[in-house]
Amino acid sequence: MDSVSTYSVASLAWLATQAVPLIIWPSLISTLLQVDGPPPQGPQYGAANASLEQYFARSLGLAQLALGALLLVLSGALPLNSAADAPDTSAPTPSASAAVLVSALYHAATASYAYARYHTTGGQMAYLLGCLGGSVLAVFGLWVLMFAGDGKRRVSRRTGADKSTSGWPFKNVEAEKKRR
């Protein structure tokens, strides 16, 4: 399994971990994240508010599952065509970088939001866990974008050097000495 597939599976696992409680028991999440004190009272916080809360929680859970599934498909971790049609199944799809970029930005945004909420609520553990999970996946996505390329290394037959590197901003002094 290559790094793009590993990232997409890890991202799906994190999103599913968040989505399943939202879909199955939507009021649990709001109860866990409620600031200490009695719940607000009044006619505006009645049954309509509870049904609206359930709707938004379940919609968010389904959207997170859809984002994870799209990431799997677009990164090539879940091939949609048969093995006979695909010439090289080990190479990532052309849309893998875009899918990783969008999901890494999503994880970074949710991590920063959870970090801000962690500090404004006085340090609730659920926000800290959300911040840590999102941060790990955002950094992993950034690493995949920067270092996990297509896997094709262009190596010189004569010198054995990697041709995909350049001499900027540092010169390869050892290679220049061997040439002379």
What does the H/E/C string look like for 152-168?
Answer: CCCECCCCCCECCCCCC
Q: What's the pTM?
A: 0.72
Q: Which amino acid is at 11?
A: S
First to last CA, the chain: 42
pLDDT at 143 over 90: yes
Q: Which amino acid is at 15?
A: L
With beta carbons less than 8 A apart as the criterion, state whether 118 and 98 touch: no
pLDDT-derived band at 34 (thresholds 50, 70, 90) equals low
| Residue 107, pLDDT score | 96
pLDDT digits (tens, 9 = 90+) for 9-33: 999 999 999 999 889 988 776 676 6
pLDDT digits (tens, 9 = 90+) for 110-138: 999 999 999 998 888 889 999 999 999 99
